Amino acid sequence: MSTLRSFAEAVIRRLPERLQPMVRWRFIKFGVVGASGTVVNVAVLYLAQEFLFSGIVDFHDRLNYSIALAITVATISNFYWNRRLTWRDRKHEVHHSALFLFAKYVMAAGLAIVLQSLLTKWLALYMHYLLANVLAIVLSSVCNFVANDRMTFRRRRAKIVADAAAHPPPTDVHDKP
C-alpha cells in the first residue's frame, strides 16, 4: 500500500503546481462519489435487467433499456453528491437553479455517458454485462471529471482574478534591492 502511495505522490509531484491540489482532493472526492454512483448504477442495471425489464425477451433490447435506466439514476445521484461534496466550494459562485446546473452536468457528462454506454455494450460481447459496465464506468470517469470541472462547476474568471489580487504571493524580504 505504501508503494502505491509513493508512486501516486511521485506522479502528482510531476504535475503542474496548480493541478496538484485538484488531483489530491477534488478528484479523490469525485472518485468517492463515482464509486457510490457505480454501486447505484450496477444495482439498478441488475434489477432492471433481471426483474424490471425481464419481460423483454431480446437480451440486447433489454440491456439497452437497463443501461439507460441505470445511467439516468446514477447520473442524478452523482450530480447531487458532486454538488454537495466535490465542488461544494464553488457553489457560492454559481447563481443558477439546480435544474439548470443539472442540465449543464448532463451535457458535460454526455460524452462520458455515451462512451460508457457504447463500451458496456461492446464489452458485454466478450464478458459478463456487469463487469463490462464497471470497466466502462472506470474508463469514462476521467472524461466525466474534466468536463464537469471545466463546464458545470467551473470557477468564474473574475473570481479567480479577484482572489489573486486579494491574496498576492508572498515575497521574500531578501529579494528587495
Q: Which of 20-29, 99-108, 130-139, 160-169 has the lowest mean pLDDT?
A: 160-169
Q: How high is the pLDDT of residue 13?
A: 76
Q: Residues 56-63: what's their mean pLDDT?
A: 96
Which of 170, 151, 156 shows the shortest CA–CA distance to 111? 151
Q: Residues 52-71: what's their mean pLDDT?
A: 96
In the chain, what is the straight-line distance between the N-terminal and C-terminal CA atoms, in Å?
49
Q: How high is the pLDDT of residue 22?
A: 63
Q: Is the model's pLDDT at 177 over the cut of 60?
A: no
Q: Is the model's pLDDT at 97 over the cut of 70?
A: yes
Q: Measured in whole angstroms, how far is the alpha carbon of residue 82 from the centre of its chain? A: 8
Give residue limits of the domains in the chain: 19-166
Q: What pLDDT digit, counting tens, does each position of 22-47 carry?
A: 666 888 889 899 899 999 999 999 99
Contact 34, 134 (CB under 8 A): no
Which of 9-23, 43-57, 107-121, 129-143 is modeled with the greatest confidence?
43-57
Integer Cα distance of 77 and 86 in angstroms: 13
Integer Cα distance of 141 and 123 in angstroms: 16
